[in-house]
Amino acid sequence: MNSASDLLAALGRYTRFCLSATRAVPFLNVREMLHQAYVMGVGSLVVLLAVGAFSGAMLTVQGFASLRAFGTSELLGMFIALGGVREVFPLIGAGCVGAKVGSAVASEVATLKIGQQIDALEVMAVDPMRFLVAPRLVACIVVTPLLVGACLLAGLVSSYLIATLQLGVDQGVFVSRLLENISLRDLVSALVKALGFGMLTGTLACWHGYAADAGAASVGQASNRTVVQAMVTGGVLNLFVSNVFYGGLL
């Protein structure tokens, strides 16, 4: 980005694109949306489960080491609830959705753009926003909370297994500390974050794909920009939502 005016112009284009996509949502092709949701969900589930499990394990090992130094290792369940459920699992899950789903959607739309299939839709009097963009956007918004939820569950299960089987923490203590520190507010916060991540990933992926010009390089660029921007804006969104729910903002 060369200057602030370029950034503002890009933001303007993105906003216009989002408005067009939103206007197309009531007319979206439902069958295509379900197909996309299936492809996104099934195609990303294993990755999200694996990343969630490893994150949970990592968080548990680090948390246990830190808490043991203060003689409070029985608070491990609370640590996982506060750090994992509120922040780490949703953020890591969102990053994975941005990388896996966002890059796939961006490269697919960009390939359709440079292959003239989007022009073909226009000439056949089929609105690409309704046929192509809205189904992917809605699918992304629907699937992201499910995938983030799967990531969260995998993180909790792996955390429980590592804590009890490897680190020797008492099962009852771990589970009770965990459950008594997960509130409805935590779950609502995670859901809001996931919906926001889904919205950001879906709109950024379709926008960058749609903006692809000629050449195979633009497919890679669309994919790359989507992942980078989804992660950065996802981080900003995560901070904002955390501040709203826990920091007294608003």
Give the footprint of another protein on this chain (CB under 8 A).
115-117, 119-120, 122-127, 131
**Which amino acid, 3?**
S
- CB nearer another protein, residue 26 or residue 168: 26
Q: How far is the CB of 35 from another protein (least distance, A)?
A: 9
CA-closest candidate to residue 98, choices 189, 15, 203: 203
- CB nearer another protein, residue 10 or residue 244: 10
Q: How far is the CB of 95 from another protein (least distance, A)?
A: 28
Q: How far is the CB of 138 from another protein (least distance, A)?
A: 19
- CB nearer another protein, residue 42 or residue 120: 120
Q: How far is the CB of 131 from another protein (least distance, A)?
A: 8
Q: Answer whether 196's CB lies under 8 Å from 181's CB.
A: no
**Which amino acid, 40?**
M
- CB nearer another protein, residue 139 or residue 178: 139
**Calpha distance 222→209 (Å, rounded):** 5
**Calpha distance 234→17 (Å, rounded):** 19
In SS3 terms, 200-222 reads as: HHHHHHHHHHHCCCCCCHHHHHH
